[in-house]
Amino acid sequence: MRTLEIVHRTRHDYAEPVTLGDYRLMFRPRDSHDLRLLGTNLVIEPAAQVRWIYDAFGNSIAIASFSEQPVKTLELVSTMQLEHYGAPPDAPTIEDYARKLPFSYLAEEAPDLARYVERHYADPNAAVSSWARQFMEGEGGDETFTALSRMCKGIQETLKYAMRFEAGTQPPATTLESGGGTCRDYALLMMEGARALGLAARFITGYLYDPAIDQPDAPKPDRSSQPHAWMEVYLPGAGWIEFDPTNGIIGSERLIRVAVGRDPEQAMPIKGTFTGAPGVGIAAHVVVQVRTMGSSTPAPVA
């Protein structure tokens, strides 16, 4: 168990005054057996009226509405303290019938998992399907967990991580063709690869804890200083098992889950609109700090 503090700062500076629409914010995870919230705080400038809802996946969503208009700056600061009981990368306990590929989900689970199994993106020339099947080759490749572990490690080892500033997530076939992408692109590629093997998969947004950050001589943060994305697969007997193909991580020991979705668009940390002059410029600044807690007093849970 680790006690962590996560500070997520986002600032949007607009070249000219704009009118903000409602913003949907995914900053707050739900309490569960592997995560216990100790304190949360959300500061928004300009001041906003915030209401909380659960979406179709049970994610906690803050909807911010603004009355102070127009504005030239939007700043969001989410702070939370939590206890994290991450699962180690050990092989999970899987039902006998699901230990080897292919298998079918039981009748009582299949209807609820159907949309997670369904392919969501075009696969020209079956490029993603062929790519996914290669991880079943060789000794032990027909074992479900082995094939998924190989896929996770294969993405990390063979593709090149590259920041993209375009909105959204690129199609999996594009990620394969270009040979690289962001964490969101990698997660989506593995989701569609798992679905090509008949497995239920979904997208996760959250944060990555890097133990090196807590060292006194820690270097400046790299991509771990941004919100992170990975995926999970439903394995009978084990439940949803997390895979981070960007870092080759299996299990949730260093991954702090905030929200899940069937598609990346359903689990965006910040989603909103603004109205302004055509082509108005925007400068976005995002910094995330994930550290073990010292002696500071947690904020109350809001």
111-163, pLDDT tens digit by residue? 999 999 999 999 989 999 999 999 999 888 899 999 999 999 999 999 999 87
Which pLDDT score is estimated for 87? 81
pLDDT score recorded for residue 105? 98
User: Tens place of pLDDT for every residue, the chain, 302 residues?
Assistant: 999 999 999 999 999 999 999 999 999 998 899 999 999 999 999 999 999 999 999 999 999 999 999 999 999 999 999 999 988 778 899 999 999 999 999 999 999 999 999 999 999 899 999 999 999 998 888 999 999 999 999 999 999 998 776 778 999 999 999 999 999 999 999 999 999 999 999 999 999 998 887 776 655 554 447 899 999 999 999 999 999 999 999 999 899 999 999 999 999 999 999 999 998 989 999 999 999 986 444 455 55
191 near 203, Cβ under 8 Å? yes
The pair of three-digit structure tokens given for residue 60, joined into one six-digit string: 């906690």
Cα–Cα distance between 297 and 39 in angstroms, integer? 9
Look at residue 302 in the predicted model and tell me its pLDDT: 55
CA-nearest of 196, 188, 186, 191 to 156 is 186
Q: What is the pLDDT of residue 106?
A: 98
Would you state the pLDDT for residue 279? Answer: 86
64 CB-contact burial (10 Å; exposed 0-12 / middle 13-18 / buried 19+): buried
Strands (DSSP E) contained in 86-169 are 160-161
Dihedral Cα 128, 266, 224, 80, nearest 10 deg: -160
Choose among 146, 33, 34: nearest CA to 92: 146
